[in-house]
Structure 1
Amino acid sequence: MRLLNRKVIISCAITGATHTPSMSEFLPLTPAQIASQSIEAAHAGAAILHLHAREPSDGQPTPSPDVFSQFVPAIVEATDAVINITTGGSTRMTLADRLAYPRLARPEMCSLNMGSMNFSIHPIAAKMASWRYEWEKGFIEGMEDTIFRNTFRDIKTIMLELGEHGTRFEFECYDVGHLYNLAHFVEQGLVKPPFFIQMVFGILGGLGAEPENMAVMRTTADRLFGRENYQFSVLGAGRHQMAFVTMGAIMGGNVRVGLEDSVFLSKGVKAETNAQQVRKIRRILEELSFEIATPAEARQMLGLKGADKVNFQAAASAA
């Protein structure tokens, strides 16, 4: 039973750039809230923390290095978790915006979306009775006519600029074609194993959260990269979160939870912290006899450069 003895990496996506403050009063918005929830999630068992920044005044997504620098060093000081900085930002940001902080910080890991797509949660707008801030309604409704741009040149730019400093990537793949896009860059020699592939299910515009889709993604990745050359993780958006990531672990993968992906802990019950979701998936996995990877073990599994080779303090000074 080799799979039952392997280590499972838990990633936690703390706040994201898609959910808005009106969708959950528990969504962390300020640097202090993001730091506090990140630290608690790490102590609960998350080996990787996937981080976005928000304007403290109203929760809008921001690429500002100054805002990132108000919470990332505090997290680093309090935990040994792998810090994974977004390069996706939000669908409204330019590539320069999205790279502003990673260029300074040179983290161990960054997310990297592997293709342009229609990424949207606009149907939620019709279900909202009220909005906490003026920007939210237009932001969500506007997704219906917004493309999440990730061209081949965009992806190449991120790989070259951040890869030069040893940053490795969480390759976010929302469809089978995104795996082939990654294979293209592998053939070009721009990225080398071990690859960390985040398979994303349940987002409108990408693959639905059906077991058959996970099987297709897994077998396609095996064919393109060889099972020994990659780790995969599973993200199930919204109501699909817990069941789908559990299935992913059973199929040999790692898992991602967090308020970026779902604001709920169970049906009709909002998660009050990211750590609640981490504790829940950890309990499920341990009851299935899986072992949870520590940050040190995650670094070894993913071939990361180490927390001593990042630039967070210098980035804070530059910001």
Structure 2
Amino acid sequence: MPRKVIITCAVTGAIHTPSMSPYLPVTPSEIADAAVEAAEAGAAIVHLHARDPETGQPDQSPQAYERFLGIIKQRSNAVINLTTGGAPTMKIEERLLPATVFKPEVASLNMGSMNFAIFPILEKLKEFKHDWEQSYIEGSRDRVFRNTFADIEGILTTCADNGTRFEIECYDIGHLYTLDHFVQRGLVTPPFFVQSVFGILGGIGAHSEDVLHMRRTADRLFGESYCWSVLGAGRHQMPIALQSILLGGNLRVGLEDSLYAGRGKLAKTNAEQVKLARELIESLGLEVATPDEAREILNLKGSDKVDF
């Protein structure tokens, strides 16, 4: 049987700002439509952040998520994945709240503190729709995205009784060893869903050797106990996705990670990127996993056991 490849689509995130693309989903209806369209295009999992509908600023309040979660669930069978990363400017308690309240099938979990820098974009971006954007971007020059061992343990233990599993985001090799630490303590159980992140300034690079190093290290640490996925930031999105497919892995696309659908071409929808990923997968004789197939692969609890 052809191998099933899981596509995750991260539809808006908290890094890109409205001035970077007119197509970035901001309002609840835009986020809901983007998630449903991505699922219809082939995404088994949709990874969600919320934003203030007036300014586009990241908003991690449960009220912000409540405006679109039920709509997406009603219109789609996609696995819904809620961020616990929120935005680098937020405290851990704020970031964790939506996953605590809504008990999703999947939540993201970053495996370490890091410099998460986006300030170089100011070399190109000179005009801003909203007052908060420039200082938010510039602030990344002197900002540490905090995810301490205590933070990670707190997220794991808080969600332990909810049946929520994790998209474990690893931005560098050391994050795989941090994951192994929690595996050894029994706080993370297989199958692990490891999302390797490439091309963020402050994390591992996007060279093919970096991808191979991540894959080999995860294989050595976790053997057959994990399911591997990747995301490439910006222009690295599709090349990294292709490498993952060839190495037996899965992939993540979406406007959270890249605003483009080709060289110099802004993606008008998240679904546009999903379709490109699907074409890569099917051109290699593989199949795109359905949401229910992804649930089986990742041992998820099912959409009937969430609180939205």
TM-score of the superposition, structure 1-length normalised? 0.96
The residue number in structure 1 matching 2:85 is 88
Establish whether residue 288 from structure 1 lines up as the match of residue 249 from structure 2. Answer: no
Q: What is the CA distance between 1:126 and its match in structure 2?
A: 2.2
The residue number in structure 2 matching 1:317 is none
Letter in 2 for 1:241: Q
- For structure 2, which runs of at least 5 residues remain unmatched after alignment? none
Q: Secondary structure at the match of 1:71?
A: helix
The residue number in structure 2 matching 1:69 is 66
Q: What is the CA distance between 1:129 and its match in structure 2?
A: 2.3
The residue number in structure 1 matching 2:47 is 50
Establish whether residue 118 from structure 1 lines up as the match of residue 115 from structure 2. Answer: yes
| Separation of aligned partners in 2, 1:129 and 1:225 | 45
| Separation of aligned partners in 1, 2:172 and 2:95 | 22
Deviates more, 1:283-292 or 1:69-78: 283-292
Q: Give the ranges of 4+ consecutive aligned residues of structure 1 lying more than 3 Å apart after TM superposition.
A: none
- For structure 1, which runs of at least 5 residues remain unmatched after alignment? 313-319
For 1:147-206, what per-residue CA distance to the aligned partner results, in whole angstroms no more than 9, with x for missing partners?
000000000000011122110000000000000000000011101100000000000000
The residue number in structure 1 matching 2:4 is 7
For 1:67-124, what per-residue CA distance to the aligned partner results, in whole angstroms no more than 9, with x for missing partners?
1000011000000000000000000111111011111100000000000000111110
Establish whether residue 186 from structure 1 lines up as the match of residue 183 from structure 2. Answer: yes
Alignment of 1:99-248 (within 5 A): 99-226=96-223, 228-248=224-244
Q: Secondary structure at the match of 1:269?
A: coil
For 1:21-70, what per-residue CA distance to the aligned partner results, in whole angstroms no more than 9, with x for missing partners?
00000000000000011100000000000000000010000101111000
The residue number in structure 2 matching 1:20 is 17
The residue number in structure 1 matching 2:34 is 37
Give the alignment partner of residue 274 of structure 1, picking from 247, 270, 276: 270
How many equivalent pairs are there? Answer: 308
TM-score of the superposition, structure 2-length normalised? 0.99
Letter in 2 for 1:160: T
Q: Secondary structure at the match of 1:199?
A: strand
